[in-house]
């Protein structure tokens, strides 16, 4: 059975993330995405320390679909180097796990 993964992505617009997430869910690459509309990001970039407000999405998906999500994010994201992190899900509500796997089954089968 496929393992679950959560994928986090930040962007400067919660609306952009919502549209992007909607497309991933529609295409079965993620079962859902939880959007945090505002996070404060402090990071080093091109020799400076930046302090910006961004939005964050947490996608719930299969580990096997993470490469497709990364590829699509790199193609569509407005940032040159988007933050995309995949985290292993160690355990989950069995019913929720089944729902994520069922919801993403078609995309996983077409890889």
Q: What is the DSSP string of 24-65?
A: HHHTTS-SEEEEEEEEEEEEEETTEEEEEEEEEEEEEEEGGG
**Pair of tokens at residue 80:** 């040159």
Residue 111 lies in a domain: no
Please give the residue range of the domain that contains residue 62.
4-105
Residue 45 lies in a domain: yes
Q: What is the pLDDT of residue 1?
A: 60
Residue 83 lies in a domain: yes
Q: What is the pLDDT of residue 57?
A: 98
Q: What is the CATH number of the domain that holds 40?
A: 3.30.70.120
Residue 110 lies in a domain: no
- Where the chain has pLDDT below 70, the residues are 1
Instruction: Please state whether the predicted TM-score (pTM) of the whole model is above 0.75.
Output: yes
How many folded domains does the chain comprise? Answer: 1
DSSP letter (8 states) at residue 74: H
Q: What is the pLDDT of residue 2?
A: 81
List the helix and strand counts (H, then E) for the chain: 4, 4
Q: What is the pLDDT of residue 110?
A: 86
Residue 38 lies in a domain: yes
């Amino acid at each position: 059975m496929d393992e679950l993964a959560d994928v986090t992505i930040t962007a400067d617009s919660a609306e952009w993330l919502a549209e992007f997430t909607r497309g991933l869910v529609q295409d079965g690459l993620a079962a859902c995405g939880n959007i945090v509309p505002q996070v404060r990001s402090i990071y080093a970039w091109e020799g400076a320390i930046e302090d910006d407000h961004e939005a964050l999405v947490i996608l719930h998906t299969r580990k096997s679909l993470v490469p497709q999500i990364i590829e699509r994010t790199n193609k569509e994201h407005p940032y040159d180097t988007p933050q995309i992190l995949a985290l292993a899900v160690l355990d989950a509500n069995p019913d929720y796990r089944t729902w994520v796997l069922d919801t993403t089954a078609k995309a996983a089968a077409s890889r």
